[in-house]
Structure 1
Amino acid sequence: MRVVVVDDHVLCRLGLARLVGEQPDLELAAAAASAEEALERVRADRPDVVVTAVSLPGGDGLGLTRRLRADDRIGVVVLGDSEAEDTLFQAMEAGASAYVDASAPIAQMVAAIRHAAVAPGSFTAEGLAEALERRRRDRELLTPRERETLGLLMQGLPIAQIGHSMNLSPHTAKTYTARIYDKLGVTNRTQAVMAALRLGLVRDGEDDARSSGCRATRRR
């Protein structure tokens, strides 16, 4: 199984390269320090798996993952922080084959690479079941009415218009908004949008709300 490792830190890149080279069933195809260099090496060396850090110069590992997974034959392992649960879900949504803590034991790292080689379209991560359960609970954090209010907030609507859209008085709409802020632990619309995305309160198919949310962040 041919592997390309991608990390802008020399020591990390060399460590990954050595790790791959020490496995009897893995072969180091190339090492790269940036997303663009990685794409060049992939085109030239046609690896089975790419192992990439989340943060890269000239682009990020998640963006690289999306581009690589356009070819469904290539598996991608994303290295990040186990405490950054939002990044785990971003890696999964980007099409990664595995997400691994950069400080994980060697056996776990190697297992992720092997998984990516044989099942590139199947996602795995340590603690994934627990993370999915926490996301499910987070999605149930808001009542249906509060979720409706949140969706309108993410579209950038002012409170008065939110109330009109929901057949509520401005005062009641403001109360719903205050409850959302309190439950999400935020103090304004911008923070609410970011928290909603981080907690997965925005479901698939709500891309319009996401883009509107970007407009909302510029208003506040």
Structure 2
Amino acid sequence: MTRTGIRILLADDQKLIRGGIRMILQSEDGFEIAGEAEDGAQAVELARSLRPDVVLMDIQMPGLDGLEATRQVVAAGDCAVLVLTTFNREDYLFQALQAGASGFLLKNASPEDLISGVRVVARGDALLAPELTRRLFDRFMARPAVSQRPDLLDLLTEREAQILRLVAGGDSNAEIAGKLFVGEATVKTHVSRVLNKLGLRDRVQAVVYAYETGVAAPGDTPP
């Protein structure tokens, strides 16, 4: 049977929150709520049995929390995880990314941002709320660059290194295409090559890598 649309699993211990999110997503064409979980353990179980495209994962849940549930879901390769939380905490942000989450949004995000976030994660891209992207940059402003596997950078062409710096600056493929006067498909190809050469999973890891190796620095304006 051919699947159409984006199938979503909601994981939150608060029924009222799940209901609100369900109403928002069900109002959008092409979205299907595949199931709902009340805790992390149930989220892992349902992700494996239902195989949704995206899990919307709360962090603080009884028993198995959302961070560990994210690790297990991502490790099993079942689907992408978009973390949703009311807690605007830096430690949660980095733990979620380390666990393999493809995105991180606060629950006070607008319905439009939530819908867009699900679509971004479903197509295999990474997503961070703008305020969280700034926090990620601030983290690396506070410490010197640490060269981790700088030898891998030699694998990049000049254009690919340029693309990496722009990705680290938070630019989308469309914005990069506009700055470099190339097609968006060309940018997407370059980004994929950068990720493959550096052994990175997604754009979020690319941002972290760029700052850790000194390829990019806060305030940089790539040529």
Q: Would the alpha carbon gap of residues 124 and 116 (structure 1) be closer, same or farther in structure 2, given more than 3 Å must change?
A: same
Q: Which of 92, 96, 104 is the equivalent residue of 1:91? A: 96
Please state how far the C-alpha of 1:78 moved relative to its aligned partner. Answer: 0.5
State the match for 2:137 in structure 1: 133
SS of corresponding position for 2:75: coil
Please give the per-residue CA displacement for 1:18-72, whole angstroms capped at 9, x wherever unaligned: 2221110110000110111112222221100000111111111111111111144
Q: Does 1:23 pair with 2:46?
A: no
Please state how far the C-alpha of 1:125 moved relative to its aligned partner. Answer: 3.0
SS of corresponding position for 1:55: coil
Q: Does 1:55 pair with 2:60?
A: yes
Contact 1:80 1:87 survives alignment (8 Å): no
State the match for 2:70 in structure 1: 65
Q: Which has the larger radius of gyration?
A: 1
Question: What amino acid is the match of 2:80?
Answer: G
Runs of 4+ in structure 1 deviating by more than 4 angstroms, as ranges, are none
CA distance in 2, matches of 1:73, 1:37: 14
Question: What amino acid is the match of 1:130?
Answer: R
CA distance in 1, matches of 2:72, 2:119: 21
Contact 1:7 1:56 survives alignment (8 Å): yes
Please state how far the C-alpha of 1:83 moved relative to its aligned partner. Answer: 3.0
Please state how far the C-alpha of 1:123 moved relative to its aligned partner. Answer: 4.5
Q: Does 1:119 pair with 2:124?
A: yes
Segments of structure 1 that go 5 or more residues without pairing to the other structure are: 141-199, 205-220
CA distance in 2, matches of 1:117, 1:53: 17
Please state how far the C-alpha of 1:82 moved relative to its aligned partner. Answer: 6.2
State the match for 1:152 in structure 2: none
Question: What amino acid is the match of 1:88?
Answer: L
CA distance in 2, matches of 1:60, 1:88: 14
CA distance in 2, matches of 1:33, 1:131: 30
CA distance in 2, matches of 1:24, 1:123: 21
Please give the per-residue CA displacement for 1:103-125, whole angstroms capped at 9, x wherever unaligned: 110011111111111116x3433
Segments of structure 2 that go 5 or more residues without pairing to the other structure are: 1-5, 145-207, 213-223
- Name the Cα RMSD after superposition: 2.4
CA distance in 1, matches of 2:62, 2:133: 32
Q: Does 1:108 pair with 2:106?
A: no
Q: Does 1:7 pair with 2:17?
A: no
TM-score by length of 1: 0.59
Q: Work out the percentage of aligned pairs sharing the same amino acid.
A: 33
Q: Which of 78, 83, 104 is the equivalent residue of 2:83? A: 78
TM-score by length of 2: 0.58
CA distance in 2, matches of 1:62, 1:126: 21
SS of corresponding position for 1:92: helix
Residues 178-197 of structure 1 aligned to structure 2 (within 5 Å): none
Contact 1:4 1:47 survives alignment (8 Å): yes
Please state how far the C-alpha of 1:75 moved relative to its aligned partner. Answer: 1.0
Please state how far the C-alpha of 1:76 moved relative to its aligned partner. Answer: 0.5
State the match for 1:39 in structure 2: 44
SS of corresponding position for 2:142: helix
